Structure formats: C-alpha cells, structure tokens
C-alpha cells in the first residue's frame, strides 16, 4: 500500500469515527488504522445501541456531510496529563495513553472540523477534496486489542480510494470474491461439511469433494513417482522423544496438541513429517549410489489453531501435506532444487497458474547475528543461501529476498501465491537443511569408503490438500475442469421411454472410466438442464428418439450446444480431455 493510500484510509477512519459519534452520542472510540483492504474503527456503542449494515447508508451520508467541513488536519500538542483529562471517560484511550507514554512526553492530536483525536499523524492534506470515494463494508465483533476476555467492541470496516474508478473496481472484485468464496461454493456444490459434534476445524469431505481430492492426490503421487520420488507411509502419531530428537519440540510446542499418554509414554499428533522420514532413512545403511533418495508422503499433520482463526478449508486443525524430503549429497542439492521447482511449476501449470503472474518465489534468509532463532553455522548458511539464490537466478525466476524469514535449520524458497482477493500468502516452501542430518545422524558411505553426512531438501509440490482445494474452488469458481469434476457427465433423457437407452449409454461411459449420472426424473428437459448448470456439470447429453436410433447423443458442453455425436466418438473426446487435464 502506498503512503498516499495509507494516509487517505487513515483519514477516512477519522471521518468514520466523527460521523459515528455524531449519530450515536456516548459512543466510546478506540483505534482506527488503515489496513490492506481499507480501514476499520473499533467502537464501544452505548448500551442498547446496535449498528448493522442497514445503518451504513446513514453513516456514509453523515461522513459526506462532515467531509465538506474538513479543510485540513490540524496538529496540536498536549501533555500526558492533559490527554488523560480530555479522555477521562474513555478507558480504552486511557489504557493506551498509560501504556505508550512516559509522564513527561508530549502527545499529538489532530483536529478537522469539530472532531479531534489522539494520533501520531499521517493524513491527507485536503480532506474535503480527497475523502470522496469511501464505502463502508461490514461490521463485526472484535475483542479490545484482539485478546479473548477483553470487552467485545464493534468493528466497522470500510475502504477508501483516490478515485471513483478504483473504488468501483475494488467493490466488483470483492463481490466476485464473495461469489467464489470456497466456504459458500463448498456448501452449494456439496463438497465438504463441518459437524459441531465431530469438532471444530475438522472438515468432512462429501463424496463429491472426496472425488476431487482423490483425483488431486493421485495426480500428485503419480507425477512424483514418475520423477523418481519414493512414496512411503509413516505413522500420524509418534513418541514425543522423536520431536525432542529433531529439536522441533521447543520451537513448535505451541503449535502442537497436548500429548496422549500410552503405557507411560507420551505420544503426539505429528506436526510435521521430517523426523519420520529420517527414521525411515536411518533404518538401514546407504551407499552414495542410492542418493538422492526422495521420500514423499501424503502426510496428515496436526497443528494447533485457535478456534477463532479457523476458516473453511483454509485454516484447519488437521491437514494433509504433499510432503517430501530429499536426502542427497551436498553437490546434488542444486540439481535437486531445480527439479523441485520444475515439478512445482509443472503442477501449477496444470491449473493454469504461471510463475511471476499467479505466484512468485521468495528467498527467505537466515540472520547470522541471531543465534537463538537460527542454528549457528555461518559457513553452512552461506553455502545453502548461495545454492538457493543460484537456482533462482539461473532460472530467471521472479523472486524477492526476505531477510530473517528462514527456518531454524536453514534457508528456504517460499512459494507466494495470490488468492482471488489478490492477497498474497506463503502456500508452501522448499527448504535447505544442514541441521537435521546431524541430529538424526544421517549417513552414507561415500565413493572413497568414508562415512559422510548428506543434506536434506524439505519440500512440498502443491502444499496442503485442504488449502489447494480451497484455492482451486475459488480459482475455478466451482467450474472445475473435466478431470476434477465430481460428476463429469449428466444424461438427460427427454422422456421416460428414453430411459433404457440412457442406461445403455451410462454403462458405456462408466466402462470408459467416466463419472456419469442419469437424471431419470420426469421433469421437463429445460428444468433438467438448469439443474445441471447450477451444479456446474461439464457435459449434458440429451437423448430422444433420434439419438437412440442412431446410437448418438446431443452434446451440451460449457461452451454451449455442440450438436449430435456418436457415443463412441464422445467417449474418445472425453477420455482425451480427462487425460490432458484441459
């Protein structure tokens, strides 16, 4: 966000507060920052007053009215004692003054029109001209300072832009994102559900959602096998000692669930796969000729999320990571990381995602000065970082460098993915690890007969299946490509007398491995077509007397009416489309 936009939005927050206080006297103000999507302001409304989206029109009108009178933001200074006196009836402001000021400090306040507020500054110069393109978006409960147990305030979200065009574009995008919201589409298309009885953050995948997941999982596993990965299965729980050995325990303790006591031993739901794969590698000796060994697994992992943070498939308490650990000679690392990025770009490409456009790389580096957060071994950090940087440079990849964002055991490449809101997030990572091989005493016999230590590349190829699913639902807006569609074809016999022929076609398609449904209801064809469209089914095959006589079907794809086609020809076309994942 540019500084100008930040000033604009923070100024808009002042304006919102001014309007709210005029409309709802007795309201207590707290704070109102600019955020990525606009701004918000947290209020404590007087007892009995509730503000909902229905009130936004009135508040916006008041904001417009006030804005006309705001010629500037005028700074004044006051002592802490003066500030406390001015905000004597506002415990929130008092708490902030108390906490952030020393007694002899001078605070700043900004006034525009009749409204003034304690504030560090950062406003527009001509509010009456610039605060024009503002829209209130939503209202939600928010604990004071984000802490459970604190009073619950009302947070009003809004957004502001410099021009009407920008505001309009933002609102259209928001509307589109809402339509594509995976929680909404997941429900409408019956892909996954939650059960309060089963528990929070634990999705249940319906038959349709599970079909997509199975196709995704098999695609990833098969592609990895082709590229020399060794898929394995390791346990989802392990003795706490394993995570002490890996050194994860002190670092990850807050993300792990409490131990399960079994026969006086403590077992943990695993938060990561690495130590499991290392134990597998260490179960027998290895020669340099066997390396690289690429252990891969669709690994169920468990990480703690606060219940308030849980959201659809994006933030869950258990997820399945397409994980792998490549154990290799140090001089194989560069080639291996290159191959990992090839795989990532290939899989992303299948979904139409391009590096530099839909995602980019971030090189997350260590900090030689920080010996607590990062394992101390300057030479290894230097080498590892230079290997990762060389790979990215040689590939002419779009990447940025991020200091002090590495894992504790080595630097990494983060795959930064944009979602439908345009928000960027780390989807998954490729990590260079020189620490774990020491802790797990991973070894290989080198060509000269000596015993040596390999390095490890931790990587995912696509990330967590739950997250991918959320992403793909929004990416495709539920209109999945044929290979992922839970129902690929729906048969629409025109009348009951065509049911027999429809069943014959159904058997032909099923034998060809196509997922097909028969709409045998005695409904009008137009109703059957409408329902199939609502369910976003890729192919509808209409069949009446003519089609039955000619062993053909009238094809309606998403592209529209495609005319009548022999069943045998259609089967070949569907198979090709499924295989090509187009």
Contact residues toward its own copies (CB under 8 A) are 190, 193, 195, 197-200, 202-207, 209-211, 213-214, 218, 221, 226, 230-239, 241-242, 245, 257-258, 260-263, 265, 267, 269, 275-276, 279-280, 283-284, 295, 300, 302, 304, 306-307, 317-318, 510
Residue 67 has which token pair?
């804005």
Q: Looking at beta carbons only, is 58 or 195 nearer to its own copies?
A: 195
Q: Looking at beta carbons only, is 106 or 202 nearer to its own copies?
A: 202
Q: State in angstroms the smallest separation of the CB of 531 from its own copies.
A: 14
Q: State in angstroms the smallest separation of the CB of 518 from its own copies.
A: 12
Q: Looking at beta carbons only, is 240 or 329 nearer to its own copies?
A: 240
Long-range contacts of 229-234 (CB under 8 A, 24+ apart): 229/294, 229/295, 229/296, 229/324, 230/293, 230/294, 230/295, 230/296, 231/296, 231/297, 231/298, 232/277, 232/280, 232/295, 232/296, 232/297, 233/297, 234/273, 234/276, 234/277, 234/279, 234/280, 234/297, 234/299
Determine the Cα–Cα distance for residues 204 and 210; give it in Å rounded to an integer.
9
Collapsing DSSP states into helix, strand and coil, what is residue 336? helix
Cis peptide before 292 (omega within 30 of 0): yes
Determine the Cα–Cα distance for residues 320 and 233; give it in Å rounded to an integer.
13
Contacts of 390 (CB under 8 A, 6+ apart): 334
Residue 177 has which token pair?
């994102």
Q: Looking at beta carbons only, is 510 or 579 nearer to its own copies?
A: 510
Q: State in angstroms the smallest separation of the CB of 216 from its own copies.
A: 11
Residue reference for tokens 């194989």: 332
Q: State in angstroms the smallest separation of the CB of 527 from its own copies.
A: 16
Q: State in angstroms the smallest separation of the CB of 300 from its own copies.
A: 7
Q: Looking at beta carbons only, is 307 or 533 nearer to its own copies?
A: 307
CB 548 within 8 A of CB 493: no
Q: Looking at beta carbons only, is 168 or 190 nearer to its own copies?
A: 190
Q: Looking at beta carbons only, is 267 or 408 nearer to its own copies?
A: 267
Q: Looking at beta carbons only, is 129 or 307 nearer to its own copies?
A: 307
Pairing assessment for the beta strands 293-302 and 230-231 based on DSSP bridges = parallel
| 264 Rama sector, left if φ>0, alpha if ψ -120 to 50, beta otherwise | left
DSSP 76: E
Q: State in angstroms the smallest separation of the CB of 227 from its own copies.
A: 11
CB 118 within 8 A of CB 83: yes
Q: Looking at beta carbons only, is 149 or 207 nearer to its own copies?
A: 207
Q: State in angstroms the smallest separation of the CB of 434 from its own copies.
A: 21
Q: State in angstroms the smallest separation of the CB of 135 from its own copies.
A: 36
Rg, C-alpha atoms of the chain: 29
CB 24 within 8 A of CB 41: no
Q: State in angstroms the smallest separation of the CB of 445 from its own copies.
A: 15
Q: State in angstroms the smallest separation of the CB of 475 from its own copies.
A: 21
Q: Looking at beta carbons only, is 111 or 286 nearer to its own copies?
A: 286
Collapsing DSSP states into helix, strand and coil, what is residue 328? strand
- Residue 196: count other Cβ atoms within 10 Å of its Cβ: 6
- Residue 379: count other Cβ atoms within 10 Å of its Cβ: 8
Q: Looking at beta carbons only, is 233 or 346 nearer to its own copies?
A: 233
Residue reference for tokens 């839970």: 486
Q: State in angstroms the smallest separation of the CB of 544 from its own copies.
A: 23
Pairing assessment for the beta strands 38-44 and 152-161 based on DSSP bridges = antiparallel
């Amino acid at each position: 966000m540019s500084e100008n936009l930040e000033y604009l939005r923070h100024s808009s927050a002042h304006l919102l507060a001014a309007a709210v206080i005029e409309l709802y006297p007795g309201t207590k103000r707290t704070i109102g920052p600019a955020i990525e999507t606009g701004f918000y302001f947290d209020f404590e409304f007087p007892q009995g007053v509730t503000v909902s989206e229905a009130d936004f029109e009135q508040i916006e009108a008041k904001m417009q009215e006030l804005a006309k009178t705001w010629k500037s933001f005028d700074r004044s200074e006051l002592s802490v004692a003066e500030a406390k006196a001015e905000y004597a009836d506002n415990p929130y402001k008092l708490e902030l003054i108390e906490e952030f000021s020393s007694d002899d400090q001078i605070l700043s306040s900004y006034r525009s029109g009749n409204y003034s507020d304690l504030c560090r500054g950062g406003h527009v110069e001509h509010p009456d001209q610039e605060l024009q393109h503002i829209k209130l978006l939503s209202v939600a409960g928010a604990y004071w300072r984000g802490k459970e147990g604190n009073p619950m305030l009302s947070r009003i979200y809004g957004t502001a832009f410099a021009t009407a065009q920008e505001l309009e574009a933002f609102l259209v995008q928001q509307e589109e994102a809402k339509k594509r919201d995976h929680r909404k589409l997941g429900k409408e298309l019956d892909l996954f559900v939650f059960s309060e009885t089963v528990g929070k953050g634990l999705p249940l995948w319906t038959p349709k959602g599970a079909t997509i997941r199975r196709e995704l999982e098999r695609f990833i596993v098969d592609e990895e096998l082709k590229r020399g990965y060794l898929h394995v299965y390791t346990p989802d729980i392990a003795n706490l000692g394993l995570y002490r050995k890996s050194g994860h325990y002190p670092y990850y303790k807050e993300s792990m669930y409490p131990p399960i006591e079994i026969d006086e031993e403590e077992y943990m739901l695993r938060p990561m796969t690495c130590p499991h794969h290392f134990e597998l590698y260490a179960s027998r000796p290895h020669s340099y000729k066997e390396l690289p060994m690429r252990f891969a697994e669709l690994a169920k992992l468990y990480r703690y999320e606060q219940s308030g943070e849980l959201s659809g498939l994006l933030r869950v308490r258990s997820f399945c990571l397409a994980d792998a650990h490549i154990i290799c000679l140090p001089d194989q690392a560069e080639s291996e990381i290159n191959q990992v990025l090839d795989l990532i770009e290939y899989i992303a490409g299948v979904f139409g995602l391009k590096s530099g456009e839909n995602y980019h790389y971030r090189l997350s580096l260590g900090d030689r000065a920080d010996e607590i957060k990062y394992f101390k071994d300057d030479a290894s950090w230097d080498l590892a970082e230079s290997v990762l940087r060389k790979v990215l440079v040689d590939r002419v990849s779009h990447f940025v460098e991020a200091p002090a964002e590495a894992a504790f055991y080595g630097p990494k490449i983060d795959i930064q993915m944009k979602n439908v809101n345009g928000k960027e997030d780390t989807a998954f990572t490729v990590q260079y690890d020189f620490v774990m091989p020491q802790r797990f005493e991973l070894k290989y016999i080198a060509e000269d007969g000596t015993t040596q230590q390999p390095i490890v590349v931790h990587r995912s190829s696509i990330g967590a299946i739950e997250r991918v699913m959320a992403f793909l639902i929004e990416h495709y807006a539920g209109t999945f490509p044929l290979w992922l569609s839970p129902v690929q074809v729906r048969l629409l016999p025109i009348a009951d007398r065509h049911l027999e022929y429809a069943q014959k076609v159904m058997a032909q398609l099923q034998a060809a491995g196509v997922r097909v449904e028969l709409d045998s209801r005695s409904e009008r064809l137009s109703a059957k077509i409408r329902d199939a469209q609502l369910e976003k089914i890729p192919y509808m095959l209409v069949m009446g007397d003519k089609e039955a006589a000619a062993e053909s079907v009238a094809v309606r794809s998403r592209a529209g009416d495609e005319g009548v086609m022999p069943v045998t020809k259609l089967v070949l076309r569907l198979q090709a489309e499924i295989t090509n994942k187009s």
